Structure 1
Amino acid sequence: MSVFSALSVSRKPAAAFVVVGLFWGCFAAHVPVIKGQMGANDATFGTLLLGSATGLVSAMWLAPRVDRMMGDRSMQAGIVALSLAWLLPGHITVPLLFAAAMALVGLASGLLDVIMNARVSELEARHDRPLMNANHAMFSVAYAVAALMVGFTREAGLPPTVVFAGFSAFCLLLVPFIRMDVTIVAAEGGYAGRYPIWPIMLCGTVVLIAFMSEATVEAWSALHVERTLGGGAAEGALGPAMLGLTMAVGRFSGQIVSERFAELTVVIVAALIAALGAVIAALAPVPIVAYLGFGILGLGVSVIGPIGLALVGNLVAPHLRTEAISRTAVIGFSGFFFAPMLMGLVSEAYGLRIAFGGVAGLLICAVPLALIVARQPRQIAAPGQ
């Protein structure tokens, strides 16, 4: 299945991925500004970002309920909530209020993340084709575009609040076009299977490693370029932009690769490539070498998370798919919030070079996990499920 065909089949959830990517790309490129206006050091700022995890944990329990309650309007509600939540963090200078605002962002982002991934998994089951990589590639494209745009707005002196408001207005315009029918799958008669805790935990940990690695570059690459390597604002914004662009390339390529090679083989090779990129970024003497490292990391890590989410959809019974993806997604997406805190603590103690070296070690841990996942039995969906 071609990339364009995959995006055509899943165009509505793909638009939701674009929305999430725009906001997080905007935030990543604004990190030096937002951190500076609060006067926070690395450890404090990383800890404040942990506020997002509070909202994310709530999303794990709320997403399946919201999805059942809102039905075909679930993604629309998620986009509205996320667009409004991002209006808060950009102008807050009080640390505790910033943490509270990020908790709202985490809740809204977690809800939309779970729902849009569940919609993609439903489409994968319905069409019997992989679609995750193409959709996650749209997140990466939007992320990179937003980060590049913020590089220009920062050079022009626009405050974060104005830029976030512009993105919010654009995303709200997409809402009328995102309504999507929901596939409801009932348990098969006589189903007596156990709750799929191991597939959720294993796939969730694989996704967690991928998203923690991605989050460290998103949140700290601009600071690494500007502070460690002496780059300017536009050069700093190019760090997360490079990650987003290469992740988009990796995920579009992954859409093709995942149709030709075993998914878990792709995960193992990708983890090793991403670890190499993290080492290059850690050792970089100048910004251009750091961009190379971010790019290689992006190419490798890009396919790990989407494949992990797709795998859990195949490993569980069809009627448990949305709930299993919800739990797996929240385990994985927590990496976006715990990673910046851990990165901040390591950076404060040892510097950003050591912190990025730690990312390489984390990525290598995905290899044995992938081998364990390969031993898990898969559930086969009935036709039409």
Structure 2
Amino acid sequence: MWDKERRSVAAVFAAHGASSGTFASRLPWLSDHLHLSAGSLGVALLMTSIGAISAMPFAGRLVARVGTKLVARTLICAFTLVVLAASWMPSLPALAVATTLLGAVGGTSDMAMNAQGILVEKRLGRSIMSGLHGSWSTGVLIAALAGSLAAHQHVSARVHFAVAAAVIAVVTLWATHGFGTTAADVGLAEEKTEDVPLFVVPRGVILLIGLVGFCGIYAEVAAQDWSSVYMHRTLHGDEAEAAFTTGMFAFTMAAGRLSGDAVVGRLGAATTVRACGVLGALGGVLVVVAQSPAPAIVGFMLIGIGVSVVVPLAFAAAGHAGPNPTLGVAGVATIAYGAGMAAPGMIGGIANLTSLRVAFCAVAVLAGLVALGGGLLGRNAPAAVGGAGAASGLDAEQIGLSTAAGAEALANEG
């Protein structure tokens, strides 16, 4: 039963990733259509992080009152519609408004589906979060390939986005239909909803977990956004090598996430994070010292493996850290989106003052800090080997307390 529910949640993750990938794949079209410079486009993209950060502190209360099923179902569909609306914006200010809304609905639905994933993980009694995030990465990849094909065929982004919105909405509605619930879960959620604060501020262990997540996401975003630039400008690789470098980073990150649950099941969450942090730090060092493209490509691949499990396990650790997984995820997400906003600008700023090599020294250091903080991400983790026995170890009270975040949280989550 719970494995069927896990597949439903994985499909929701993939749908969310496809929405993000659809938008990202046609950014050149948006830039050309509005005649935006790189700096102007950067401003529009910055607003997505601002929108997400602004919404995150309130997202826990929303999910607690409405439930993750309805939040995920409604806001992922809204996500696709805002992506479509962005293609009709007539100017940079209008596009910035659209991308702010994009960040708010995308971030809130992201938080809701992660909270649901944690609840299913509790029921199963084994790690599933890495695989769920692997599904997200797969959704991004599929959408990016579809966007590349649409662009190659000279299909307008407006037509492309409309078709993608319809497909993603159908998948989302179908997947959330598989979310399970019980009367006991609903009753407990209703009883606890009034205890959920309106504004979630991360503190205590949630803050520490969030800082580990910050380090991982900073390294992830830095490598994702700057790997091709580093290859081209610092190591003088051609455009094909630059694009290949970014692709290999994305490949190893997705592969790491898809295999992460099996590794966590064998080694445990803390050991897995420590090992990945070490690999990420070694990759960062290799990138910094590389004098030719080949070793740098290997370095970026190691960074991809190193950061692959950090975000899913940070969300999982936060969700397991207290009685309310929704609030824990919201707290970590607030910090995590801050990393996503800070990384591109900080890398660029350090590079302007010094060089990209120096800027990537920070990536190596932060990956090393992930290794040091690995123990935090292993707190209260599910049993290494789950199965029915582990799942049955969670009695009704434990499952109910885990859903204190919202009445329909468990009921609606899937």
**Where on the TM-score scale, by shorter chain, does this alignment land: which range?**
0.7 to 0.9
After superposition, the Cα gap between the structure-2 partners of 1:343 and 1:150, relative to the gap in structure 1 and judged at 3 Å, is farther
Please, which runs of 5 or more residues in structure 1 have no aligned partner? Answer: none
Kindly indicate whether residue 345 of structure 2 is the aligned counterpart of residue 341 of structure 1. yes
Change (3 A) 1:15 1:119: same
Pairwise CA distance, 1:273: 0.8
2:18 to 22, 25, 37: 22
Q: Which amino acid aligns with 1:326?
A: A
Q: Which is further off, 15-24 or 155-164?
A: 155-164
CA distance in 2, matches of 1:348, 1:366: 26
Q: 1:365 aligns with which of 365, 369, 372?
A: 369
Contact kept? 1:231, 1:287, Cα under 8 Å: no
Retained in 2: the 8 A contact 1:225–1:235? yes
Q: 1:6 to 1:279 in 2, by over 3 A?
A: farther
- Specify whether residues 351 and 155 from structure 1 end up closer, same or farther in structure 2 by C-alpha distance, changes over 3 A only: farther
Deviation at 1:209, TM superposition (A): 1.7
1:18 CA displacement: 0.9
The aligned residue for residue 403 of structure 2 is: none
Do the aligned residues in 2 keep the contact of 1:28 with 1:218 (CA within 8 Å)?
Answer: no
Matches of 1:160 and 1:350, distance apart in 2: 38
When the two structures are aligned, how many residues end up with a matched partner?
A: 370
Pair 1:325-2:351 in alignment: no
Deviations 1:219-268 (A, max 9, x none): 33344456654544x76554444333212211122101111223112111
Q: 2:359 aligns with which of 355, 361, 367?
A: 355
Q: Using a 3 Å threshold, how does the CA distance of structure 1 residues 158 and 365 change in structure 2: closer, same or farther? A: farther
- CA displacement at 1:289 relative to structure 2: 5.0
CA contact (8 A) 2:9 2:113 kept: yes
- Report SS of the residue matched to 2:267: coil
Match of 2:107 in 1: 110
Equivalence for 2:198: none
Q: How does 1:42-81 map to 2 (within 5 A)?
A: 46-71=42-67, 72-81=69-78
Name the CA shift for 1:131/1:116 in 2 (closer, same or farther; >3 Å). same
Question: Aligned partners of 1:74, 1:204: CA distance in 2, in Å?
Answer: 23
Cα shift readout 1:64-87 (whole Å, capped 9, x = no counterpart): 333244433221112112111222
User: What is the match of residue 13 of structure 1?
Assistant: 9
Q: Percent identity?
A: 28
The residue aligned with 2:387 is none
Corresponding residue number in structure 2 for 1:267? 273
8 Å CA contact retained: 1:251, 1:302: yes
User: What amino acid does structure 2 have at the position aligned with 1:261?
Assistant: L
* Residue pair 1:85, 1:101 contacting (<8 A) in 2 also: yes
Aligned letter for 1:52?
T
Q: Normalization by structure 2: what TM-score?
A: 0.76
Amino acid corresponding to residue 119 of structure 1 in structure 2:
Q
Cα distance, 1:120 vs. partner?
0.7
1:194-233 alignment to 2 at 5 Å?
Answer: 197-225=203-231, 229=236, 231-232=238-239
Change (3 A) 1:262 1:253: same
Question: For the residues of structure 2 that align with 1:34 and 1:257, how far apart are their CA atoms?
Answer: 40
| 2-structure distance, mates of 1:35, 1:138 | 29
Whichever of the two has the greater Rg, that structure is 2
- The aligned amino acid for 2:310 is I
Pairwise CA distance, 1:200:
1.0
In structure 2, runs of 5+ residues without a counterpart are 196-200, 384-392, 400-414
d(CA) in 1 for partners of 2:29, 2:127:
39
TM-score by length of 1: 0.81
Question: Which of 1 and 2 has higher RCO (CA within 8 Å, sep 6+)?
Answer: 2
Cα offset, 1:110, TM superposition: 0.8
Report the residue type matching 1:112 in the other structure. S
Whole-Å Cα distance in 2 between the matches of residues 348 and 196 of structure 1? 33
User: Is the Cα–Cα contact under 8 Å of residues 22 and 143 in structure 1 kept in the other structure?
Assistant: yes
Match of 1:252 in 2: 258
> What is the SS of the residue equivalent to 1:140?
helix
Query: Hey, what does 1:307 align to over in structure 2?
Result: 313
Matches for 1:65-144 after TM superposition, within 5 Å: 65-71=61-67, 72-89=69-86, 94-144=91-141
Coordinate RMSD, CA, aligned: 3.5
Deviations 1:3-32 (A, max 9, x none): xx9864411221121123223334555566
Give SS of 1:129's match: coil
Paired residues of 1:221 and 1:240 also in contact (CA < 8 A): yes
The one of 156, 171, 175 aligned to 2:168: 171
Q: 1:328 to 1:269 in 2, by over 3 A?
A: same
For residues 148 and 351 of structure 1, the distance between their equivalents in structure 2, rounded to whole angstroms, comes to 33
Contact 1:316 1:379 in 2 (8 A): no
Task: Give the direction of change, closer, same or farther, for the CA distance of 1:328–1:16 in structure 2 (3 Å limit).
Answer: same
Work out the CA distance in 2 between the residues paired with 1:353 and 1:159. 39
Query: Match for 1:340: what amino acid?
Result: P
Alignment partner of 1:258: what SS? helix
Structure 1 residue 369: deviation in Å?
A: 2.9
Q: Structure 2: how far apart are the matches of 1:158 and 1:348?
A: 37
Q: Distance in 1 between matches of 2:24 and 2:43?
A: 16
Distance 1:23 1:262 in 2: 32
> Deviation at 1:58?
3.0
How far the C-alpha of 1:203 sits from its partner, in A, is 1.1
Task: Describe the shift of the 1:241–1:167 C-alpha distance in structure 2 as closer, same or farther (beyond 3 A).
Answer: farther
